[in-house]
Amino acid sequence: MSHKHIKRASDKSDATVAEAGASRKPRGGRNPDAIPGLVTVVPGRAFDLAEVDTRADGGLDKAAAGPALAEARARIAALQERLYAEHRRSLLVVFQAIDTGGKDGTIRAVFEGVNPQGCRVWPFKVPSAEEADHDFLWRYHAKTPGRGMIGVFNRSHYEDVLVVRVKDLVPEPVWRARYDQINAFEAMLTASGTTILKFFLHISKAEQKERLEARIATPEKHWKFDAADLVERESWDAYQAAFAEALTRCSTPQAPWHVVPADRKWYRNLLVARAIADTLEAMDPRFPEAQPGVAGTIVPG
């Protein structure tokens, strides 16, 4: 993909992050469309979520972001058609966030216009009895995208080192071993032709409060409100620590984690859409060769 792992000039500490202008390749030496803000976790370095400003907007405004998002969506749609036709490789897009972090809204905004036949979205909830009877990766592996497909995970195998850790659902040595198991799983998928893009939608605690209050205040949003979210909110710090360790341990060269400043929904959508479009562009899917003699074939009356 075209993200460059560049040390931030402002990075005083131990360079735990690299900024990636989630945009197209530079033309004429500079990148007119570069949008700072998508933070790629550097493999092998401890990552501190506090380094990312959740309210970042890249100096853009909402009005300018609209057409830019439409352009990124058009690129995704055109490239998806090629990926589907090529039928050789696949793209897996993973979304993780704290409650109200915006996974659903991002998926709706970014994949609008994509041919539904070539894209599947899988939400992962509390495991069923059958799922819980298997190894933790079983249910995720069953939903990975086949050739030509884009697969979207709304929550993912990372829950097994996030909620499972915070709620103490298995002993620590069991969830600790999972970082390596996840890396091996993702390496196997990558080697099998699946490109993996992982986004952590990063909101502040104050923003979560506002979003929960909006759900309470708006009757049309009541269905989204779950009193359990208030209980989870009490574990905010434990979740942040769990996210930071998962991002640190499972950002690999072939499947790095991207942290998206997500307090501003329009900026979040634009960053994610551009990163997906750039990734598909770098994959460079091609239409298959036509059978000889197609052009000029006459269809009998």
Location of structure tokens 């509390």 = 126
Helix (H) or strand (E) holding 174: helix 172-191
Under the binding rule (CB under 6 A), the answer on residue 126 touching ligand ADP is: yes
Rounded least distance, CB 124 to ligand ADP, Å: 5
Taking the alpha carbons at both ends of the chain, their separation in whole angstroms is 48
Q: Whose Cβ is closer to ligand ADP: residue 60's or residue 121's?
A: 121
Phi-psi region of 24 (alpha: psi -120 to 50; beta: other; left: phi over 0): beta
212 vs 225: CA distance, rounded Å: 7
244 vs 246: CA distance, rounded Å: 6
Residue nearest to ligand ADP as judged by C-beta position = 159
Exactly one of 124, 138, 179, 236 binds ligand ADP (CB under 6 A); that residue is 124
Q: Whose Cβ is closer to ligand ADP: residue 30's or residue 125's?
A: 125
Buried b (16+ CB within 10 A) or exposed e, 149-174: bbbbbbbbbbbbbbbbbbeeeeeeee
Q: Do 272 and 71 contact (CB within 8 A), yes or no?
A: no
Location of structure tokens 């009005």 = 63
> Of 42-50, 76-84, 121-129, 183-191, which part binds ligand ADP (CB under 6 A)?
121-129
* Residue 86, amino acid: E
C-beta atoms surrounding 294 within 10 Å: 8
Q: Helix (H, G, I), strand (E, B), or coil: what is residue 38?
A: strand
Under the binding rule (CB under 6 A), the answer on residue 160 touching ligand ADP is: yes
Rounded least distance, CB 126 to ligand ADP, Å: 4
Q: Whose Cβ is closer to ligand ADP: residue 43's or residue 105's?
A: 105
* Residue 75, amino acid: R
Rounded least distance, CB 132 to ligand ADP, Å: 8
Location of structure tokens 């090629």 = 82
Q: Whose Cβ is closer to ligand ADP: residue 89's or residue 139's?
A: 139
Exactly one of 20, 56, 164, 189 binds ligand ADP (CB under 6 A); that residue is 164
> Of 9-17, 31-39, 120-128, 246-254, which part binds ligand ADP (CB under 6 A)?
120-128
Under the binding rule (CB under 6 A), the answer on residue 155 touching ligand ADP is: yes
Q: Whose Cβ is closer to ligand ADP: residue 135's or residue 284's?
A: 135
> Of 160-168, 197-205, 207-215, 275-283, which part binds ligand ADP (CB under 6 A)?
160-168
Which residues ranging from 197 to 226 are in contact with ligand ADP (CB under 6 A)?
Answer: 226
Which residues ranging from 53 to 92 are in contact with ligand ADP (CB under 6 A)?
Answer: none
Exactly one of 34, 137, 163, 187 binds ligand ADP (CB under 6 A); that residue is 163
- Enumerate residues 6+ apart whose C-beta is below 8 A from 122: 143, 151, 152, 153, 154
Q: What is the β-pairing status of strands 194-202 and 90-97?
A: parallel
Exactly one of 125, 191, 292, 299 binds ligand ADP (CB under 6 A); that residue is 125
Which residues of the shown chain bind ligand ADP in the complex (CB under 6 A)? 99, 123-127, 154-155, 159-160, 163-164, 226
